[in-house]
């Protein structure tokens, strides 16, 4: 028995790899896996190397003392809690130190806010040469919560927290897509390209999931859609799934659906009081010469137009840049875009109209076309997948950086709720 490592039913331990130098744990041989109290649990890393970020209140009753931790994810398991409820938990591996011993253990992350012990040491963590004395406490040296004085601030604030961003696009080499990835990575975020043809969904009320090439993806913080007019029902389902997993979408699925249907878009704007060209559209109009509803509506605009078409880049409800072209119609053969020279009251009015239109549809990232007409400025079109790279080339505005900053701001606001 001289070589036996003795444990009491409660012990002090340290998790040095998680920056937790003192934790009071309950030693529970009735539990298979060890568990650590954690809150604000968020995925991090990449699909190839999934990680999890979380915070810990190591001192019971002291919510002002918090430590932010990050670790590799080795598994996600359905665990039964003490009250019999089952939930999916992240599983990590970390070294535990107790007395003169240090050894690796598996730990599940769970909210133990109501528990007296911030950690539970399960029987998997108890090695063959260890013996638990259920009648004794602290058979190993005691530690102290004093180690957290002045040193328990999170390693990174919400503003600095790395985000897991999904970029839904079929054109990953597109200039805007490439610049979005570079801008996000410069600010410390991880971007996963999502091609809808490689995706499958798992629809479940308690634990929705999304799989890329058969591998589960961790919950994203945000999802950006770059699918243009080709956005189909399954792409919308992917966005809706990401939202159901808690992601922020500057362009939610319902708003994208409206923006992708010209008639629905025009009706939404008109019902919100946003000026649009009057148009009479019948089923026969759409069938005649197989013309699309967008062409029929463009004809209505062409009859009223009296000047160049203005296109505004609207990000987070603000029109941050504007370009123009001579033709006020939105058809394919129109002249190239150029930097707009319009200013003064006309620009202010058109900018306000573009911002109103984006809000009415529910788009936080959009290009809004505003046309001067004999009846005043009107919204001609909205696209949810604008060419940010072209806007930047023509205007010099740092729009792509603004998109990433907006994601950071919205995510930070959600963490405070």
For 119-158, the DSSP string reads EEE-GGGS-TTEEEETT-S--S----GGGGTTT-S-SS-G
CA distance 172 to 179: 10
- The pLDDT value given to residue 417: 45
Instruction: For residue 45, give the nearest of 186, 219, 211, 246 by alpha carbon.
Output: 219
- The pLDDT value given to residue 150: 62
Q: How far apart are the first and last CA of the chain?
A: 54
- The pLDDT value given to residue 24: 94
Q: Counting beta carbons within 10 angstroms of the beta carbon of residue 333, is it exposed (0 to 12), middle (13 to 18) or buried (19 or more)?
A: exposed
**Phi, psi (5° rounding) for residue 122?**
-85, 175
pTM for this structure? 0.63
- Provide the 8-state DSSP code for 17: G
Q: Which two tokens stand for residue 313?
A: 């880049």
Q: Are 59 and 65 in contact (CB under 8 A)?
A: yes
Lateral strand order in the sheet of 190-194? 190-194, 164-169, 222-226
Q: Are 325 and 338 in contact (CB under 8 A)?
A: yes
Residue 102 bridge partners (DSSP): 97
Q: Label residues 73-85 b or e (16+ Cβ within 10 Å = b).
A: beebeebeeeeee
* Residues contacting residue 260 through CB under 8 Å, at least 6 positions apart: 229, 231, 384
CA distance 223 to 208: 16
CA distance 89 to 162: 21
pLDDT by 10s per residue, the chain, length 417: 457 899 999 999 999 999 999 999 999 988 888 999 888 787 777 767 888 888 888 888 787 788 888 999 998 887 766 555 667 788 999 999 999 999 999 999 987 666 778 899 999 999 999 999 989 999 999 999 888 876 444 444 444 577 889 999 888 888 889 999 999 988 888 888 888 889 999 888 777 888 888 888 778 889 999 866 557 889 999 999 999 888 999 999 999 998 888 888 889 999 999 998 777 777 765 555 444 444 444 554 555 556 788 999 999 999 999 999 876 554 444 568 888 888 888 889 999 999 999 999 999 999 999 988 877 888 988 988 888 999 999 998 899 999 999 998 888 766 554
Residue with the two structure tokens 């600010």: 187
């Amino acid at each position: 028995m001289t070589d036996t490592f003795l444990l009491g039913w409660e012990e002090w331990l340290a998790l040095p790899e998680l920056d937790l130098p003192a934790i009071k744990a309950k030693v529970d041989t009735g539990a298979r896996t060890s568990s650590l109290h954690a809150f604000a649990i968020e995925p991090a890393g990449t699909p190839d190397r999934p990680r999890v970020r979380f915070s810990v209140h190591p001192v019971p009753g002291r919510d002002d003392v918090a430590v932010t931790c990050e670790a590799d994810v080795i598994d996600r398991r359905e665990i039964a809690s003490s009250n019999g409820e089952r939930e999916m938990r992240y599983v990590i591996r970390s070294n535990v130190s107790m007395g003169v011993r240090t050894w690796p253990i598996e730990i599940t992350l769970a909210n133990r806010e109501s528990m007296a012990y911030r950690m539970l040491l399960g029987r998997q963590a108890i090695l063959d040469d260890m013996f638990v004395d259920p009648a004794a406490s602290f058979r190993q040296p005691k530690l102290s919560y004093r180690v957290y004085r002045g040193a328990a601030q999170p390693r990174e604030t919400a503003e600095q927290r790395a985000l897991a961003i999904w970029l839904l696009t079929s054109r990953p080499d597109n200039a805007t897509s490439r610049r979005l990835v570079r801008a996000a990575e410069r600010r410390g975020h991880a971007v996963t390209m999502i091609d809808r043809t490689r995706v499958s969904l798992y629809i479940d009320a308690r634990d929705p999931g999304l799989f890329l090439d058969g591998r589960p993806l961790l919950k994203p913080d945000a999802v950006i859609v770059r699918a243009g007019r080709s956005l189909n029902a399954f792409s919308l389902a992917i966005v809706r799934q990401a939202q159901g997993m808690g992601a922020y979408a500057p362009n939610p699925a319902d708003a994208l659906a409206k923006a992708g249907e010209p008639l629905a878009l025009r009706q939404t704007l008109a019902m919100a009081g946003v000026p649009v060209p009057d148009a009479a559209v019948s089923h026969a109009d759409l069938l005649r010469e197989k013309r699309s509803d967008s062409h029929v509506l463009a004809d209505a605009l062409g009859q009223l137009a009296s000047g160049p078409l203005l296109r505004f880049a609207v990000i987070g409800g603000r029109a941050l840049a504007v370009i123009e072209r001579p033709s006020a119609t939105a058809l394919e053969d129109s002249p190239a875009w150029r930097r707009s020279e319009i200013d003064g009251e006309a620009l202010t009015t058109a900018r306000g109209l573009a911002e109103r239109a984006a809000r009415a549809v529910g788009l936080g990232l959009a290009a809004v076309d505003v046309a001067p007409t004999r009846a005043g400025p009107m919204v001609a079109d909205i696209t949810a997948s604008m060419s940010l790279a072209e806007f930047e080339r023509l205007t010099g505005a740092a729009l792509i950086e603004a998109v990433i900053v907006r994601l950071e701001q919205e995510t930070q606001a959600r963490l405070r709720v």
